[in-house]
Structure 1
């Protein structure tokens, strides 16, 4: 379920989903004195019954890559990467992507600083 600044996702463990999870992703834009606008994300929930809470910040120019950051948080907290992306419903992803671009005033074709990419 999507609402601006928050996405809730729950998947029950069953024969098609070997891992059950419930996650809430909260995000907002914060102003850094030296870097300007930054995307702050907090993810919390349960993966196979184990509670977790984790967060990260992304530079404005690489915030479009928020799904990679969320998947890294999920994997770090016990999510099996073979399950696919943690936000599987494309409508939720698209809505979140649009909301983030709007909040950060991101325009297509803007350059990125490769030093901000974190692989």
Structure 2
């Protein structure tokens, strides 16, 4: 389920039991500028977790990769995708992030941000 600023995912029958909520918002950092802040919370195989990460404006569109790594760190098998399972919701989330950041296709990426954001 997607709504602006929030993506909810739950396991399908036959998968490891999980529920994950991914919340996001733009925050202004005085030094780094606009940052997309993410908070993930939920449970994987009965174990609750909460985690947070931030991405620079120009690297924010790699959120699915980072969210997948965070989920794997908390026990979700790497072959379970939080974002790509329902591609229409991913598209809506991607467009919502683009709108919130005022981003346009073709904008440059600062390669220093890739390293800072762990990408």
1:109 aligns with one of 99, 106, 111: 106
Q: Give the length in aligned residue pairs.
A: 115
Match of 1:39 in 2: 36
Alpha-carbon offset, residue 56 of structure 1? 0.1
The runs of at least 4 consecutive aligned structure 1 residues that moved more than 6 Å come to none
Pairing 1:1-119 to 2, within 5 Å after superposition = 1-14=1-14, 17=15, 19-83=16-80, 85-87=81-83, 88-117=85-114, 118-119=118-119
Point out where structure 1 has 5 or more consecutive residues left out of the alignment.
none
SS across alignment from 1:43: strand
Point out where structure 2 has 5 or more consecutive residues left out of the alignment.
none
SS across alignment from 2:72: helix
TM-score if structure 2 supplies the norm length? 0.92
Distance 2:20 2:13 in 1: 14
RMSD: 1.1
Alpha-carbon offset, residue 28 of structure 1? 0.2
* Superposed CA offset, 1:22-54 (max 9, x none): 011110000000111000000000111111000
TM-score if structure 1 supplies the norm length? 0.92
